[in-house]
Amino acid sequence: MSSAVSCDSRTPVCGPDGEPLERSSKSKIDQWTVAIVERGYLWGKINTAQAVWPLATWCFLTGYMDIIGFSAIFVWCAFQTGNTAQLALAVARLWETPRDLSFRTSDRQALCSVLGFIVGCFVGRLGDKMGSNTRMWLFTGTMIQALFTMAASIAIWQSGEGSIAPNRISPAWSNPLSFLCLAFMSASMGLQGIMGKRINSPFATTVVLTSVWCELVADPKLFNVSKLVPSRDQKAIAIFALFLGAFIGRAILAEVGSAGALGIATGIRVLVAFGWLFVPSTDVGLVARTGPV
């Protein structure tokens, strides 16, 4: 006859009936139950090595979102290197002869994208308070990305602008609401960019893939195809996901327009947000947590 075990200081987790819960469970379902009872699961840190599909989806969205902006105004909402260089060219024109004092639409759009991206990065500073690798922040931050993307969809829908520019001198977006759309798109990518960077996974980044190309090609195990190499394989996945996102994004854009394409992107972001809740923890042991460290 087994003796009853009561809850005390040595038994940190108790069920609703006052009985202690074992830390080592027989199944994953039991472990999840214990974690939920502890109310610390959402504040637990994810295992970045097992976060391949959410990060790959972010790379997919980078290509998807960029192709929407580029098709309309030839401005990237995620890659700020080109936008920054374009602003430098606009300033350089002030010293040319004859002097060009015009602030062109393309320059204004590049500035709008840079500023929106910066705002998104500032929002990402919340992750420093909540823990950059915690499920709570990854879920919350991705939902904020979804809200930014939804706002962009509504803005371009209300603007009545087109979706695909016929050439570079005739952008499809030019009115104030289209600028607001671009700002929200860039903010969502800025937040995604800093969140992906702070996770510190082999993906390295989910936005700027120039460095990913460099690291992939220079990887010492690039041609070691006989076994899996995370440092190489995940970078290859990132590049392929971005290419696929741009390809699919353009196909969808041609059928449903900018507002519809951004609405689909909003739905994908929501799915990714909930997906973060199912990424395994760094440590299989469960530690009671009620908030960020």
Q: What is the pLDDT along the chain (293 residues), one digit of tens a residue?
A: 444 555 555 555 555 555 555 554 456 666 655 555 455 778 888 888 888 899 999 999 999 999 999 999 998 888 888 889 988 988 888 887 777 677 788 889 999 999 999 999 999 999 888 888 889 999 999 999 999 999 999 999 999 898 898 888 888 888 999 999 999 999 999 999 999 888 877 666 777 777 788 878 887 777 877 788 777 888 888 889 999 999 999 999 999 999 999 999 999 999 999 999 998 887 544 444 444 44
Task: Number of helices (H) and strands (E) in the chain: give both, helices first.
Answer: 9, 0
Whether pTM > 0.75 for this model: the answer is: yes
Instruction: Determine the pLDDT at residue 281.
Output: 82
The architecture of the domain spanning 48-278 is Up-down Bundle (1.20)
Instruction: Determine the pLDDT at residue 289.
Output: 44
In 160-223, alpha helices (H) = 176-199, 210-217
Cα torsion 76, 82, 86, 89 to 10°: value is: -170
For the chain, the 3-state helix, strand and coil shares in percent, each to the nearest 5, are: 60, 5, 35
**Please, are residues 212 and 239 in contact by the beta-carbon 8 Å criterion?**
yes
Backbone phi, then psi, for 157, in 5-degree steps? -65, -45
Instruction: Determine the pLDDT at residue 16.
Output: 53
Domain residue ranges of the chain, discontinuous segments joined by +: 12-41, 48-278
Cis check for the bond before 98: say yes or no (omega within 30 of 0): yes
Instruction: Determine the pLDDT at residue 58.
Output: 93
CA dist 58 and 47 (Å) reads 17
CA dist 213 and 182 (Å) reads 27
